Structure 1
Amino acid sequence: MNWPYELQIGWRYTRAGRGGRRNRFISFISGVSMLGIALGVAALIIVLSVMNGFQKEVRDRMLSVIAHVELMSYSGEALADWQATAAKARANPAVVGAAPFVAAQVLIARGEDMRGAIVRGIDPALEATVTPLAAQLKDGPLSRLKAGDWGIVLGGELARSLGVREGDKITLVAPSGQVTPAGVVPRLKTFTLVGTFNAGHYEYDSGLALIHVDDAARLFRVGGPTGVQLKLADVHQARQVGDQLAQSLGPELRVRDWTRANANWFDAVQVEKRLMSIILTLIVAVAAFNLVSTLVMTVTDKQADIAILRTLGASPRSIMGIFMVQGAASGVIGTISGVGLGLLVAFNIDVIVPAIERLLNVSFLPGSIYLISRMPSEPQSADIIPIAITSLILAFLATLYPSWRASRVQPAEALRYE
Structure 2
Amino acid sequence: MLLSSYERLIAGRYLLPGKGERFIVLVAGFSLGAVMLGVAALVIVMSVMNGFRAELFDKIVGLNGHAVIQGYGGRPLNDWRQLLARAKATPGVTSAVPMIEQPLMMTNNGRAEAIILRGLTVPDIRGNSTIAGHVVAGDLNNVTAGSNRIAIGSRLAETLGVDIGSQVTIWNPAGQSTPFGTVPRMVSYTVGAIFEIGVYDYDKAYVVMPMEDAQTLLLLDPDTVGMIEVNTRDADQVGPILAPLRASLGQTAAVSDWRQMNAQLFEALAIEQVSMFVILCIIILVAAFNIASSLIMLVRAKTRDIAILRTMGAPRAAMVRIFITVGTTIGVLGTIAGLILGFVLLYFRQPIVDFVQKLSGQNLWDPSIRFLTELPSKPNPVEIAMVVAITLLLTFLATLYPASRAASTDPVQVLRYE
Relative distance call for 1:379 and 1:163 in structure 2 (3 A) is closer
Partner of 1:173: 172
Secondary structure, aligned partner of 1:16: helix
* 1:67-78 equivalences in 2 (<5 Å): 67-78=65-76
Contact 1:291/1:399, CA 8 A, preserved across alignment: yes
Alpha-carbon deviations, 1:119-172, whole Å to 9, x = none?
Answer: 1221122333344314777x934643425x665443343344345563635141
Q: TM-score, normalised by structure 2?
A: 0.79
Contact 1:79/1:227, CA 8 A, preserved across alignment: yes
> In the alignment, does 2:185 pair up with 1:188?
yes
| Count, aligned residues | 409
Query: 1:78, 1:360 → 2: CA distance?
Result: 52
* 1:377-416 equivalences in 2 (<5 Å): 377-416=377-416
Contact 2:63/2:130, CA 8 A, preserved across alignment: yes
Q: Which amino acid aligns with 1:190?
A: V
Contact 1:100/1:229, CA 8 A, preserved across alignment: yes
Task: Give 1:385 deviation, angstroms.
Answer: 0.9
* 1:60-209 equivalences in 2 (<5 Å): 60-92=58-90, 94-110=92-108, 112-134=110-132, 140-141=139-140, 143-146=142-145, 152-163=150-161, 166=165, 168=167, 170-174=169-173, 185=182, 187-199=184-196, 200-209=198-207
Q: Which amino acid aligns with 1:329?
A: T
Indicate the percent of aligned positions where both proteins have the same amino acid.
Answer: 32
Alpha-carbon deviations, 1:167-200, whole Å to 9, x = none?
Answer: 63514133x57766556x3642424234242223
Query: 2:61, 2:414 → 1: CA distance?
Result: 70
Secondary structure, aligned partner of 2:224: coil
> In the alignment, does 2:234 pair up with 1:244?
no
Query: 2:13, 2:337 → 1: CA distance?
Result: 16
Let me know the Cα RMSD of the aligned residues: 4.0
Unaligned stretches of 5+ in structure 1?
A: none
> In the alignment, does 2:196 pair up with 1:212?
no
Contact 1:102/1:121, CA 8 A, preserved across alignment: yes
Query: 2:32, 2:9 → 1: CA distance?
Result: 14
Query: 2:273, 2:296 → 1: CA distance?
Result: 36
* 1:337-352 equivalences in 2 (<5 Å): 337-346=337-346, 348-349=347-348
Q: Which amino acid aligns with 1:400?
A: L
Partner of 1:324: 324
Which stretches of structure 1, 4 residues or longer, exceed 6 Å deviation after superposition? Answer: 354-357, 359-373
Relative distance call for 1:59 and 1:365 in structure 2 (3 A) is farther
Q: Which amino acid aligns with 1:119?
A: L
Contact 2:295/2:402, CA 8 A, preserved across alignment: yes
Task: Give 1:101 deviation, angstroms.
Answer: 0.7
* 1:49-64 equivalences in 2 (<5 Å): 49-64=47-62
Contact 2:70/2:228, CA 8 A, preserved across alignment: yes
Task: Give 1:287 deviation, angstroms.
Answer: 2.1
Q: TM-score, normalised by structure 1?
A: 0.79
Unaligned stretches of 5+ in structure 2?
A: none
